[in-house]
Structure 1
Amino acid sequence: MPPYILLNHHHPEFETRWLQETNSTNTGTASGMPKDSAILRDMVMIYGSIFVAAFIGFCWVRKAFPKPYTIRMWTAEDDLKNPLAQEQYGFFSWIRMLFTFHDDEIAEHCGLDAVCFLRTLAMGQKLCMVGMFNALWLIPIYATAESSKETDRITDWVVQITVSHVPSGSARLVATVLAAYISFGYTMYLILQEFEWFIEMRHKFLRKPRPCNYTVYVSNIPSEIRSNQKLEEFFHHCFGGDPVVDAKVRLIANKLSSLVTKRENVVAKLENALAIEERDGKAPTLKKGLVGGIPGVSDAVGVIPVLGGAMTGDRVNAVDAFARELAELNSDISVRITVMEDILLGNASTDALDELYPSARRIFGLSKPSRYELTETDKLLSESDERKQSNKLSYSDEKIDNSMVANGSHSGHGNGIKLIPSSVSKTASGAVGSVLNTAKGATKVATNAVGSAVNLVAGEREGEYYSGGFVSFRTLSLKYAALQMLHHDTPFMMSVAEAPNPQDVFWANVGRENKELQIGKLLSRAASVGICLLWTIPMAFFATLSTVEGLKEQFQVVEDAVEAFPALEPILQQLAPLLVVMFNSLLPAILEMLSMWEGPVSGSVVEALTFSKLAAFMIIQTFFVTAISGAILEEIKKLVEDPLSAIDLLATSLPAQSTFFVQLAFVGTVTGLAFENIRIIPLVLAYVRKFVGPRITKKQQQTSYFFFRPLADPSEFEHASNMAQFSVLYFMIFMVYQSIAPLTCFFLGVCFMVMRPAFLHQFMYIYPTLPDSGGRIWINFIRIIMVCMTVAQLTLVGLMGLKKAGIATPLMAPLIICTILFNAYLQQQHFRVAEYLPTKECLKVDIQNGDDFADSLVKGAYLQKELSDKEVFPEDVDDSRLELLGLKSVEEASPSSTVLLQSSEHSRSNKAEDDDVESRGARSLLGNLFSR
């Protein structure tokens, strides 16, 4: 993170020194205090040397040890490998190579977010070049200003080329306003050009054949259509025809989720045991114990069930134990998923659901209207139910025992999973074959299996629908029509938004209720404001330590060292921005955690929320809190009483601090790029990972262990923090100082110039493409830049007022009005056009692709993890080996599993003949629900 928090002034000694140092801008001769020119000279010598050394060092290590710096060139992962990065190039030639790639190529293989970040850096460089052009004629005007008592004390040449050297009331201040017109006018022109570029790139992104481009996320779904079928029927009524390919409302599946998690752990253990067996030539063993009354195997992670065997003290084959448990878990999970699918499809007996789980009708959308007379639609549904009942025998005399089975077929369950009632188990284990030979027996088994199905998903809310889900459409035009429609007359109800990539979905936040989301947003924003206001309190201590005087006072060893070596003092002088950089590195993690309170459904949304908070934090802290030279609470009270006094406050404080802001930008760039490109921290973590965590199999070696990442698993690029640091902060500094301290533009121009190739290299060779939000952060960036322009112009107005510029001050009014009108112009259509794909573009793609193009692309793409895989097996293991382990044997299914699966097939056959009648009835019923 950048040093965008200036130092607090609570400490008396620090306040005295700070005022003296800032006054040096007006005098340039404060006794005993370093001049601005000396500070900049020392900064360039120290951090310039660091930058040159880091650059040469990076070029050397990249050539000598290419693996850590060209990950996307040698990785075997298809999602990470970059075809553009298949050559390493020479010591310096890699820089030239980077500029040969087109934006379309970078967007395709590095992501649109990466291209947008690089474009903001290029945009900053263009603006700085205009600032440099202005500096060519502004610097002579400022340096040759007429003499006055106010400016005679200024002897430092850095201060002499700023507006501080121009006396009050001078006509030369018109040049400052003219430079502002040129700079801000070009900024508005450049924003229009960038919008034109971004809209084209954004529409290309939205046209790509990706599941998220055909899918919307629906939140706060009304209870009457809260199911897959009814949600699909709703959009069928919206558009007619067959508009929906897939509709998935998230289900509460806590029990299934816990089993899936346990299965993942068992698979990892089995892969580890197989690797040890292959390495050592024999399988590892585990100690058998008696756990919970069930014979089992205990290890460091949990209980490994084993059927039969000796008692405590014996050793068992770990591979066989893990394989047996995995087979049991695959069987259980497969059955549970199958049964839940049958219930969701309506294949289960509704009478059995009423008998065993009364709320299941409501949960699975099977309830009938009870307070209204039967309509024609209700009669259709009723006839369908009667036809079902004619195919079933009554089971009212059959009392279902809900006690769970602990027989031999499931005695091996270390987790204590009970699948079916005891009556079903007796039927299954006694005479499964004979039961299936008679219609009465088959019906009774199916009926009892429905009862066990309900027990599988039953719980306080197990199996119930959340209020959010994903709807995938057949064409792009249908998706964007649904995205821009108002679907309900209640605020926040039936809200439709862009869907994230399937791999980027935060399933824990899908379907959260609106009340919970509103509370989370309120708490998140309140906490963000509180942190923003209170962040200066801990900074007061660091502010004291970041000055030579403060260090001398706090540490005697520092005072002795400075007295012995006076040359050490200018080096310590550069600690101020460095300490601030280190302290503020904590801020992105804190604000990201606060963003999660708002319930985002994807990582790209989290990045966009975090970026907005960081940008606001930067502007407030850097250009408001910094300007407060007294007690913070007292100054805030004044601002509340008189908000317009903020302009005078900024105009008084900011012009005297240009040198420090140059330090912030230069130090942030040098230290940031040194750590970013040489990858000091990732290399240390990757080295530690070689000795920490599981690392026997190749898969384990390439997987992160907590925050220790191997080279093959690079972290994602932090777009929010980097864009807030290297774009928003630097743009704000430029806009404030480009006409009052034009030397700033040269330093910022150098920063932007070196950052673009440095980050482009990282995108090409290091960072993965996904997640990619498609430029969401860029849209927020433009909105924030418009705020920065207004703040900078108001600051300039205040400065002109303090300078008593009778001509220059009113000349600022047209510029401010033009900026406000320009912002209003952009808000009308530009952001909307950038957010959605136009209908004419949608139709072009839809006609080219055809109606069935999206079927294979999105079908099942947004299925929640718990329902996606019925069986999972160890990776890189032959099928013959899996068969020897009993993982792919046809006899794996237990009797209870057989009963459940057979009952599901029986229910499907009974339901097939009723589908047409029930479908017509459901459509009419859905229309009646909304008409009522």
Structure 2
Amino acid sequence: MDSYIQMLADSDQDNPGLPPGQLGKYQGPWFSTQLTLSLTVGLASFLVFCWLRRYERFKVLYKPRTLLKGFSPHEVHDHKSFFGWILPTLKTSEFVVLQLVGLDAAVLLSFLRTGFYFFLTCSILAFAVLVPINYRDHGTSEGVPPPTNGTSSFLPSAISSTAPLVISTFKPHLKHGSTVYLFSHLAFTYIFTILALVFLNRNWKRYIPLRQLFSLELAQSIPARTVMVTSLPPHLRSERSLAEYFENIRLGEVDSSSRDRDARDSGCLAVESVVVTRAIGSMRELLERRTSALATLEKAWTKYLGNPVPVEGKKAVSGYDREAEVETILRGAVDAPDAGREEEEQTGRDPSSNGRLIDVDDDEQEDPEEDLEAQLLSRVKSAISTPGRKRPTLRPHWFAKKVDALDYYAEQFRRADEAVRKRRKGKFRPTGVAFVTFQTIASAQVAAQVVHYPSATEFHTELAPEPRDIHWFNLNLSASSVFIRQVLVILTLLILLSVWSVPVAALATLLSWETIQDVAPRLADLLGRSPRLRGFVQTTLPSLAMVAFNNVLPMFLEALSIFQGLPARSWIELSQLKKYHISLLFTTLFVFITTSTYTLLRDISESPAKVLDKLATTLPDSRNFFVSYVMLAGLAIMPLQLLELATVIPRLFYQMFLTSTPRDHAELNAPTSLNLGVVYPQALLIWTIGLTYSIITPLILPFATLYFGLAYLTYKYRFLFVFYRPYESRGQAWPLAYNRVGLGLLIFQVFMLGFFTVRKAFLLVVLMVPLLASTVYTIWRLYRTYVPLSRFVNLSQACEVANGTGADDIVKLRKGHPVTRSQTHLNRGRYGHKGEGVYAVAKNPHTDYSQPPLSEMYPGVLNTGGPARYGHPALFGALPEPWLPALAEPKETGAEVPQAVKDALLVVDLRRGWRNLKRAAKQGINLGGDNEGESSEGGRRRPRATSWGSMPSEEDPSRAWRGSESSAAPSPRREDLLSDEEDDLDEEDEHGNIPARYSSFFPHRPGHNIHFPPTPGNASETEDEG
């Protein structure tokens, strides 16, 4: 006991055993300082969150998922008390999360729960057995002898000073490195390894049923039955020839003369539709130009009228009808002369220099009803009254006459819009990528797993990503381009890690006590007077700085993953997961080795055998830092994530400076999505650190347990209330996480092997070899056993579901976890085909959500759910129309509405009624309802859809679903699967709405005769880009 007290007193002596500049001595009450800081930040964040989430005005920040279109609350969403959300969130099973949110969320929560129970079990065993043995041998809770000059006890001073006294009453005096001490470390190395493998195996067994049953439940969805084909040979780069190829694959003896189509299709891979992607050429630039012109136009109107448009007070605007203005923008000013465009073509002069801009459609000009409407409504534009504000003007060019700014921007938009629509009607060259949708999920699974072509570089198949998951810019890259990109990404990553290690290593060196004394002696004197400040600088600041550095890395790594050329957004996330995990291991776990690189090189030159000893000596010396790091990550950073500061702070900036139009406000309220490539590496790092130091520093285990427990609660809440993930990766993050947990397990064993080598316990070193070998084999064996079922759906159940006899397992999945059909709308609605967008509808005076926000999948098109048939968004995506500010709602003061407001509303109603009546008469619609739905071919040139889910055929991909008479696929029993949901997910085939060019090919449609086989000699239906 006296030697222990003397050790605490001799804290200013140098430690000759440490490398120069090594952060090895954490002096002062660093543990209590770090614990106080972490608890303060964590509790404050948690309480502030519990307070804010109760208010309706903060719902868009902390409950945006509940504001999505079609959201139906579950019982977990009904609790609004201060702490009332905690228990319901924890009690919500992962099967409920699977049905409400999706597979990726359930898999992540399962991994976090596994980590919690694993570290909880290790904590109980370590503190029940290992910690008393350490106290018995060293008088401290740690698994290594304490340094003779540093404060190394992790426990509060009262415990650390009294515990040795209690244990010393019944322990004999043993020398350091006793047999019991070393063998206990070996035993716990075996125990922790076996526990880790058991928990990993249990998680695999939970993951596989989730993966299989989730896929079987969506077996009739288009993504589940679609295969992506890459590197197509030239003679198969047409929809018909590719469909003929798959349908010619006979899996059994079938009479080709049979008239029963079901009998014929039972022996082949029956194809429902085929889409060969096209090289869009200049479409991207045209869409960007159109989007830019649209944004400029909307901002000009917002600046002119305000948002919302005032209808009361001194600034009240009268005579404004938003729909009429949008119609005028789309069609052009019909009251202007008809010679503007001809003058521009003949003289090259801009017609805007002569006055009002025009865009007259000849067909519409010849219609007498259009002329009548123009005459009746021509005065409305000039009738807009804005007190104190004139209609804006501008000079299109230097020294040009001023023209009306709104008309000028409208003309620019019309030209860009016309260029896009005209280019969409052109010809586009087919590429080597295609999407083939089969009639059953079983056919898709077979087609994705077989080798189709004798050439190894052609005709590769794999399960297709979901339409919203596709990164269209990377889809058509050539194999050589992808290879060059991958090489450049690897080189860039190595350079990035090398550069990144410089400031991190410098930070670790500058924050070591020896360096502070050398570089800043006055600062060292100041820190020496305050033990708490000294502990804060030497322990808390390094962990804070490391967290800050690690949070910056994902931005660079995501850019690298995108540049790598991966064709799916989920694949980009998984690639980012790999890169980020390697970066964290390098910059965090091994950063203290890099600070003594010179010493390591010198030891290697003198004696290569010292390298392992040096590693085993250096890593334990960094144990205090890693306890501090895990403590900060679990107790402070994880609760802080509940405040959504990464979303709130940028939102405030955008709202104050960059948000003005209704579209801007609508996009600002859209919910965020969780990036799995950032979440998993951080949890894997804590797992690796906690396991590596579990025996050397058992106190790290409770903090690792708290990290995984708080992460489970935090992410489950965010999945249920905050995040909306528009696509699924089919749970493919777990196999990657499993491999990296196995890597962490091997790092732990290698570290313990070096530890025993330093202690000269060669018998224990020999006993570690079988553990290493068996661990490698077990990790490999588990991966080989389970990974096929993680990538594909088993053919047995897939065929049963296709035949309508395999719904029992799906019923069992739902049994005990009741979720209504409406509550799964946000999850299952992602696989629907109506094209309806899912976006926030939070009450906001600055937007009325009349349109979906712009899509993140592809710029320039609306977020209407993505093309259901894998049509390219540039060719088939719904185009946004001008979104002008809406009228402000009159204040409810109880007074009579002003007559000016009544007149404005009356004018709007009359205009809408006239427009609807004229449109109905022109399209040949019987208003009496006798021939509803019939229309003539003389409809409007640009029909405006009443719902964003039913756009014109020019803007939609093919909408032929499996409900059609020619491509109906067998489905499970409806009474078991509650497949009335199919009415929500699928629409009846509409042959008349199929685009004339580059739509899905349906081989079983009338008039599509199959000719076998397609050969390179036959002309393929390719069209050159026009």
Verify same fold: TM over 0.5: yes
Cα distance 1:324–1:547, how it changes in 2: closer, same or farther (>3 A)?
A: same
Q: Tell me what 2:778 maps to.
A: 822
Q: How does 1:680-699 map to 2 (within 5 A)?
A: 680-697=645-662, 699=663
Structure 2 letter corresponding to 1:718: N
Coordinate RMSD, CA, aligned = 4.7
Asked if 1:254 is matched to 2:281, the reply is yes
Letter aligned with residue 861 of structure 1: R
1: CA distance between counterparts of 2:146 and 2:586?
A: 31
Distance 1:533 1:14 in 2: 31
What's the CA shift string for 1:383-435, capped at 9, x where partnerless? xxxxxxxxxxxxxxxxxxxxxxxxxxxxxxxxxxxxxxxxxxxxxxxxxxxxx
1:90 alignment counterpart: 81
Matches within 5 A, 1:374-523: 463-523=428-488
CA shift, 1:243, in A, is 2.0
Residue equivalent to 2:183: 174
SS of the aligned residue for 1:695 comes to coil
- 2:226/2:444 contact within 8 Å kept: yes
Q: Distance in 2 between the 1:190 and 1:525 partners?
A: 33
Q: Which has the higher mean CA deviation after the structures are superposed, 285-294 or 479-488?
A: 285-294
Q: What letter is aligned with 1:255?
A: S
The aligned amino acid for 2:681 is A
Query: What is the CA-CA distance between 1:227 and the residue it aligns to?
Result: 2.5
Q: 2:211 corresponds to which residue?
A: 202
Tell me, yes or no, if the aligned pair for 2:504 and 2:591 is still in contact at 8 Å: no
Contact 2:21 2:595 in 1 (8 A): no
Q: C-alpha deviations, 1:732-788, integer Å up to 9, x for none?
A: 112212223222112211222222112211222111132321211111000111111
Structure 2 matches for 1:549-564, cutoff 5 A?
Answer: 562=527
- Which residue of structure 2 lines up, in the alignment, with residue 923 of structure 1? 1013
Alignment of 1:627-666 (within 5 A): 627-628=593-594, 630-631=596-597, 635=601, 638=604, 647-666=612-631
Matches within 5 A, 1:724-873: 724-725=681-682, 727-848=683-804, 861-869=869-877, 873=881
**CA distance 1:870–1:111, shift in 2 (3 Å):** closer
Does the 8 Å contact 1:112/1:772 carry over to 2?
Answer: yes
| Residue 125 of structure 1 pairs with residue 101 of structure 2 | no
Q: Quote the residue 2:822 is aligned against.
A: none
Corresponding residue of 1:713:
670
Alpha carbons of structure 1 residues 598 and 764: separation in structure 2 relative to 1, 3 Å? same
Change (3 A) 1:771 1:316: same
What is the CA distance between 1:673 and its match in structure 2? 2.4
Secondary structure (helix, strand or coil) at the match of 1:497 reads strand
Q: 1:614 maps to what in 2?
A: 580
Q: Does 1:224 align with 2:235?
A: yes
Aligned partner of 1:67 in structure 2 is 59
Q: For residues 92-112 of structure 1, give each alpha carbon's deviation from its aligned partner in whole angstroms, at most 9, with x where no partner exists.
A: 121111022121221233332
> Secondary structure, in 3 states, of the residue corresponding to 2:777?
helix
Aligned mates of 1:636, 1:260 — CA distance in 2: 60
- Residues 607 and 150 (structure 1), Cα distance of their counterparts in 2 relative to 1, 3 Å cut: closer
Task: Give the CA deviation at 1:306.
Answer: 4.8
**Do the aligned residues in 1 keep the contact of 2:45 with 2:639 (CA within 8 Å)?**
yes
Q: Distance in 2 between matches of 1:774 and 1:254?
A: 32
Relative to structure 1, is the Cα distance of residues 336 and 317 closer, same or farther in structure 2, using a 3 angstrom cutoff?
same
Give the residue type in structure 2 aligned to 1:575.
Answer: L
TM-score, normalised by the number of residues in structure 1: 0.71
Is the 1:675–1:681 Cα contact (8 Å) retained in structure 2? no
Question: Cα deviation per residue 1:156-204 (whole Å; 9 max; x = unaligned)?
Answer: 5449999xx9734634211111112221111111111110110111112
**Partner of residue 110, structure 1:** 101
Q: Residue in 2 aligned with 1:142?
A: 134
Q: Do 1:257 and 1:866's aligned partners in 2 also have CA atoms closer than 8 Å?
A: yes
| Cα pair distance change 1:917/1:77, threshold 3 Å | closer
1:50-85 per-residue CA deviation (whole Å, 9 max, x = no partner) reads 22222222222223564244333552434x776566
1:223 maps to amino acid: P
User: What letter is aligned with 1:517?
Assistant: V
State whether residues 230 and 458 of structure 2, in contact with CA within 8 Å, keep that contact through their aligned partners in structure 1.
yes
Instruction: State which drifts further: 61-70 or 578-587.
Output: 61-70
Q: CA deviation at 1:513?
A: 0.7
- Secondary structure at the aligned position of 1:863 is classed as coil
1:251 is paired with a residue of what secondary structure? strand
Q: How far, CA to CA, are the matches of 1:97 and 1:917 in structure 2?
A: 57
2:554/2:580 contact within 8 Å kept: yes
- Alignment equivalent of 1:313, drawn from 378, 401, 412: 401
**Offset at 1:550?**
5.7
2:544 counterpart of 1:578 = yes
Residue 322 (structure 1) shift = 6.0
Q: Percent identity?
A: 18
1:701 equivalent in alignment to 2:665: yes
Contact 1:487 1:494 in 2 (8 A): yes
Deviations 1:30-53 (CA, angstroms, capped at 9, x unpaired)? 7xx606xx3222211222222222
**In structure 2, do the counterparts of structure 1 residues 269 and 796 end up closer, same or farther at CA, with 3 Å as the change threshold?**
same
Deviations 1:596-635 (A, max 9, x none): 2221112111110010111122334444453345336964
Partner letter of residue 215 of structure 1? T
Per-residue CA deviation, residues 128-163 of structure 1 (Å, 9 max, x unaligned), is 12211221111111111179997794885449999x
Paired amino acid for 1:651: A
Q: Which residue of 2 aligns with 1:243?
A: 270
Give the total of aligned pairs: 753
1:281 aligns to what SS in structure 2?
Answer: coil
Following the alignment from structure 1 to structure 2, what is the Cα–Cα distance between the partners of residues 918 and 68? 51
Residues 818-861 of structure 1 show CA distances to partners (whole Å, capped at 9, x for unaligned) of 212212312332111221100012112212399xxx99799952
Contact between 1:472 and 1:479, CA under 8 Å: does it hold in 2? yes
Whole-angstrom CA distance in 2 between matches of 1:741 and 1:905? 67
Contact 2:23 2:622 survives alignment (8 Å): no
Pick from 588, 594, 597: which aligns with 2:560?
Answer: 594
SS at match of 2:434: strand
1:480 maps to a residue whose letter is: Q
Q: How many angstroms apart in 1 are the aligned matches of 2:631 and 2:39?
A: 9
Q: 1:182 to 1:822 in 2, by over 3 A?
A: same
Q: Secondary structure in 2 aligned to 1:786?
A: helix
2:495 is matched with which residue: 518, 527, 530? 530
Task: Assess, with a 3 A threshold, how the Cα gap between structure 1 residues 632 and 510 changes in structure 2: closer, same or farther.
Answer: farther
SS of the residue aligned with 2:556?
Answer: helix
With normalisation by structure 2, the TM-score equals: 0.65
2:45 and 2:640 in contact (8 A); partners too: no
Counterpart pick for 1:184 among 175, 185, 193: 193
Secondary structure in 1 matching 2:725: coil
| CA 530–48 in structure 1, closer or farther in 2 if over 3 Å, else same | same
1:856 to 1:88, Cα distance in 2 relative to 1, 3 A: closer
More displaced, 245-254 or 258-267? Answer: 258-267
Report the equivalent of 1:5.
Answer: none
Equivalence for 2:369? none
Shift in Å, 1:475: 0.9
Q: One-letter code of the match for 1:740?
A: I
1:56 aligns with 2:47: yes
**1:527 is aligned with what amino acid?**
T
The whole-number CA distance in structure 2 between the counterparts of 1:512 and 1:281 is: 54
- The correspondence for 1:293, drawn from 348, 353, 358, is 348
The residue matched to 2:593 in structure 1 has which SS?
coil
Contact 1:323 1:885 in 2 (8 A): no
Deviation at 1:863, TM superposition (A): 0.2
Contact 2:243 2:273 in 1 (8 A): yes
Counterpart contact for 2:630–2:700, Cα < 8 Å: no
